[in-house]
Copies of this chain bind each other. A is one copy, B any other.
Amino acid sequence: MQGAAPGGPESATLLISCPDQPGLVATVTEFIFRNQGNILHLDQHVDTEANVFFMRVEWDLTAFTIPAAAIATAFTAIAEPRQMTWELHFSSNVPRMAVFVSKLGHCLYDILGRYQSGEWRVEIPLIVSNHPDMRAVSEKFGIPYVEFTITKENKREQEDQQIALLKQHNIDFVVLARYMQIISPEMVAQFPNRIINIHHSFLPAFIGAKPYHAAFARGVKIIGATSHYVTSDLDAGPILEQDTVRVNHKDSVEDLVRKGKDVEKLVLARAIWYHLQRQVLVYNNKTVIFN
């Protein structure tokens, strides 16, 4: 398995991207080895077209001679001359996730079931909605539910309130679990590659509203779902995960919706898993997923 699952040893994970050049793997692994770190997982990838190098390395901190707080500084000496963009994560740090919903509950139920079963290493301090429908579910699971009625007029203002609330709760990333509102560029800018959406089609087919109706009208034999990071372009952000399910002429639009819901919730759950496991690097509006 990749990444910091519940129960593993205390570990650190580096996510690196930089211009490709000889010796990158040797240099990074030598840094870890020299300081008594034992590598748990290592993945690398080179986009030969773009000439960009990507790496994810996770190592056991048990015997590591550099204290956690000093690793970033120590690594800067390696990163800077090689123009590395990098992130450092510790398995001891439990990410804080906010869930945004509207009226449909299938993704929310799925997320909360995993959360309460301890399947994920995450905190969910609050659920945000533009409708009252999911309040009862949230309360069932003991999670505060904050409602923001959204109109054309108050949208930006309400989003600013939402941003303030997220900051106040130290939210690391946001999951739009069939949240039926377009996020403004201003809000996206506050959480770059930190807002995960689920769209109910295999993008780039059927962008926008009512994809199941469009799929039915076109007579497709497969439908799908796509989870992606939200950018300021509607349904056009970096894709995290996709999956499909077979349909046929007997399926009405309602059947597509029913079958699609099961794909949506699994695709979203996998995308959240990759994000939580620190397996995702974004480049050129695409993702490298080291899983």
Which residues on A are within 8 Å of B, measured CB to CB? Answer: 1-2, 5, 22-23, 25-26, 29-30, 32-33, 36-49, 54, 105-106, 109-110, 112-114, 116-117, 119, 137, 140-141, 202-206, 218-222, 224, 238-244, 246, 248-252, 254-255, 258, 261-262, 266, 269, 284-289
Contact = CB atoms under 8 A, between A and B. Distances in A.
A242 B266 contact: no
A124 to B, nearest CB: 15
A219 B242 contact: no
Contacts of A251: 1
Contacts of A105: 113, 116-117
A113 B106 contact: yes
Contacts of A2: 250
A79 B35 CA distance: 23
A286 to B, nearest CB: 3
Nearest to A282: B219
Contacts of A42: 25, 42, 44
A284 B255 CA distance: 19
Contact of A25 (B39, B49, B238): B39
Given A222-B244, A239-B219, A119 B258 contact: yes
Nearest to A53: B39
A109 to B, nearest CB: 3
A110 B269 CA distance: 13
Given A222-B243, A266-B262, A113 B117 contact: no
Contacts of A239: 218-221
A289 B249 CA distance: 7
A31 to B, nearest CB: 9
A48 to B, nearest CB: 8
Contact of A238 (B22, B113, B219, B244): B219
A206 to B, nearest CB: 7
A147 B197 CA distance: 40
17 contacts: A1-B254, A1-B255, A25-B25, A25-B29, A29-B29, A39-B46, A40-B46, A42-B44, A48-B252, A106-B114, A109-B112, A140-B141, A202-B205, A203-B218, A205-B205, A219-B284, A219-B285
Given A26-B32, A202-B244, A249-B286, 16 more contacts: A25-B25, A25-B29, A25-B33, A30-B30, A39-B44, A40-B46, A105-B116, A105-B117, A106-B119, A109-B113, A110-B113, A202-B222, A204-B206, A218-B239, A218-B286, A219-B239
